[in-house]
Chains A and B, each alone.
Chain A
Amino acid sequence: MDVDTEMQSATAQGTEESKENEWVRINSNDGFSYLVRRKVAQTSGTMANMLDPNGGYAEAQTKICTVDERGIVTEKLVEYMCFKSHYQTVGPKEDIPVQEMQERIPPEIVLEVLLAADYHEM
């Protein structure tokens, strides 16, 4: 019996980890599509909720999030999510190139990105 629970908990953990490494799809409203790890997608609070199988959302089944923004804006969101998820886990001794990330936001779309970032809780 003990071994069973152990195995169950181990599987549960494995499932969780493997789930984290699953690919999920993020679509823009003008036909662009981005594949990211679930872990990355969960940088956004909204997306994490959408993809959560325990939530009542259809996206949890399809593993596809649709962002109501143009492709260029969506791409910037994905870029930021990758940036953040990577540097979130880095040690305290390392420098985080925040300025670089900031420079990668062109002023022409900054207001749209701002609006989207606010909506997606990132």
Chain B
Amino acid sequence: MIHVAPRILPRIRPLCGSQLIGIAQDAEAQRQPFLLLLIAAAADELCSSPPMASRYDARVPSLIFLCQRVAANNAEAITSLGSELSFHLVKPILERCGPDQLVRLEEASPHLMTDTPDIWREMCFQKYRLIAEEHYSPSDEPEDPDSWKNRYFFLQEAEIKRFEEVGSRIRSQRMEADERKKEREVRFTDRVPPPKRSRTGGWGGAPAQPKTLFQKTRTEASKIQKAFYNSKSIPPRQVGKTARVHATPDHSILPPIPSSIPSRVTVNTITLPRHPPPSGSSASSSSPASTTSRASPPSCQSSSFDMGSKVLPAISKPRPIPGKPAPPQRQSTRDYMTPLSNASSPPPSRSSTAPPLKSPGPIKKDPMASLFVPKHRAYSQRPHS
């Protein structure tokens, strides 16, 4: 029993503020020293918290309070709390620990374990609020083996799993988007991609055998003629001037001569024995088929021209007799012309003694001539007249 003289009493104050201090200052209490001491001790026990209003001590915090503050600030550096510190002293420190640190301190000071479930519960709800509220309620008091501590780690694993799921989903979405983008980008390659569609319906693919030069030029010639017929910008041409022979006789661009024009050809052809030119066969083979563009060669010929050489094969062939009557003097020419032009398109010629052809070269199949003569008259830079 501690007996304290009343006069010393006012000097002794609880070191931290609390409502009990008010009682201590009461004059009545001063006459009951034992009671005062009990109150003071109790006040000390209870309040290691920041001081509240009191006469002297409110503004000066207790050493316990300061030490708790310092220790809590350095909680991660604490390895053990020992066996002497009671829970209420270290509670502020434990509240500031992470879960791993808390486990370590618990193991070092087992006497604290009886009081830590509250801390674990707070941790559960602070860190994993959403899931925790789904599963547990705060007022639970779980028993072993279930405990707030175990629940905390269970929640931690659940959270990690959820993050991984979401992460993988995002990753796969992003990779799909990347792949789609890659497909559309331009790439270097040396392989020809498969053709999108066949060229036209009805063509089975590559032709059975490559088209000969002759066939190619014929198709091209027909294309050109179509273009000319369809275009209105081409002025009418004098046939005489356009009477032109190219090196390859098939490359003629003249419009077809209607067969109604009477022939006024008065060419006297003298056939000369000459070896048939290589193109003669082509000329002869083209004669039954071509109806249009062969008009120029037979016109305005003189014996000195190579056209004569073309006559030979013509004469050697059987001659179909044209339906049209022809004067005898023209018989030779007629005969001459018929095999060539199928008796349907003798070229109209303005003069018997035609002026020299504008392009003697091509008759000789001079390849040089074609250098200066554009393939298509449309692209020629010569004046259109």
Binding site for B on A (CB under 8 A): 16, 39, 42-43, 45, 48-49, 52, 54-55, 77, 80, 83-84, 87-89, 92, 96, 98, 101-102, 105, 107, 110-111, 113-115, 117-118, 121-122
Q: Is the CB of B70 within 8 A of A122?
A: no
Q: Would you mind naming 29 contact pairs between A and B with Cβ atoms under 8 Å apart?
A: A42-B11, A42-B12, A43-B15, A48-B11, A54-B4, A55-B2, A55-B3, A77-B63, A80-B66, A83-B60, A87-B59, A88-B56, A88-B57, A89-B56, A92-B59, A96-B59, A98-B60, A98-B61, A102-B69, A110-B70, A110-B71, A111-B82, A114-B67, A115-B82, A115-B84, A117-B67, A121-B15, A122-B15, A122-B63
Q: Determine, out of B73-81, B113-121, B259-267, the stretch whose residues face the partner at the interface.
A: B73-81
Residues of B within 8 A of A89 (CB): 56
Most buried by A among B2, B41, B67: B67
A102-B69, A111-B78, A114-B85 known; A49-B2 Cβ under 8 A: yes
Chain B residues with CB under 8 Å of A55's CB are 2-4
Q: In the complex, which residues of chain B have a beta carbon less than 8 angstroms from the beta carbon of A48?
A: 8, 11-12
Q: In whole Å, how far is B115's beta carbon from the nearest beta carbon of chain A?
A: 17
A117→B64 contact, CB < 8 A: yes
Q: Does any Cβ of A come within 8 Å of B40's Cβ?
A: yes
Q: What number of A-B contacts does a CB cutoff of 8 Å give? A: 92
Chain B residue contacts of A39, Cβ below 8 A: 11
Report chain B residues within 8 Å CB of A115: 82, 84-85, 89
Contacts of B62 in A (CB 8 A): 117, 122
How far apart are the CA atoms of A53 and B78 in the complex, in Å?
41
Apart from A49-B2, A54-B8, what 11 extra A-B contacts exist at CB < 8 Å?
A45-B15, A45-B41, A88-B57, A101-B66, A107-B77, A110-B74, A111-B82, A113-B67, A114-B89, A115-B82, A117-B62
Is residue B7 contacting chain A, with contact meaning CB distance below 8 A?
yes
Complexed CA–CA distance, A101 and B63 (Å): 9
CA distance A110 to B64 in the complex (A): 10
CB interface residues, B 238-285, toward A, < 8 Å: none
**Chain B contacts of A84 at CB under 8 A?**
15, 60, 63
B5 within 8 A of A: yes
Q: Which residues of B contact A88 (CB under 8 A)?
A: 56-57, 60
- Interface bits B1-23 vs A (CB < 8 Å: 1, else 0): 01111011001100100000000
- Tell me which residues across on chain A come within 8 A of B12, comparing CB atoms: 42, 45, 48
**Which of B56, B60, B71 is the one whose CB lies under 8 Å from A111?**
B71
List 5 A-B pairs, minimum CB-CB distance, nearest first.
A114-B67, A117-B63, A107-B74, A88-B56, A110-B70
Q: Verify if B299 is at the interface (C-beta below 8 Å from A).
A: no
Question: Please, which residues of chain A bring their CB within 8 A of the CB of B345?
Answer: none
Residue of B with least CB distance to A102: B66
CB distance from A18 to the nearest CB of B (A): 14
* A residues in contact with B56, CB < 8 Å: 88-89
Decide: A80 and B63 in contact? CB cutoff 8 A.
yes
Q: Which residues of A contact B4 (CB under 8 A)?
A: 49, 52, 54-55
User: Taking the complex as formed, is B335 at the interface, i.e. its CB lies under 8 A from any CB of chain A?
Assistant: no
Q: Are B70 and A54 in contact (CB under 8 A)?
A: no
Residue of A nearest to B55 (CB): A88
Output the nearest chain B residue to A95 by Cβ-Cβ distance.
B59
Q: Please give the distance in Å from B328's CB to the nearest CB on chain A.
A: 139
CB neighbours of A87 from chain B (8 A): 59-60
Q: How far is the CA of A96 from the CA of B8 in the complex (A)?
A: 26
A118 x B70 contact (CB < 8 A): no
- Bound Cα distance A102, B89 (Å): 17
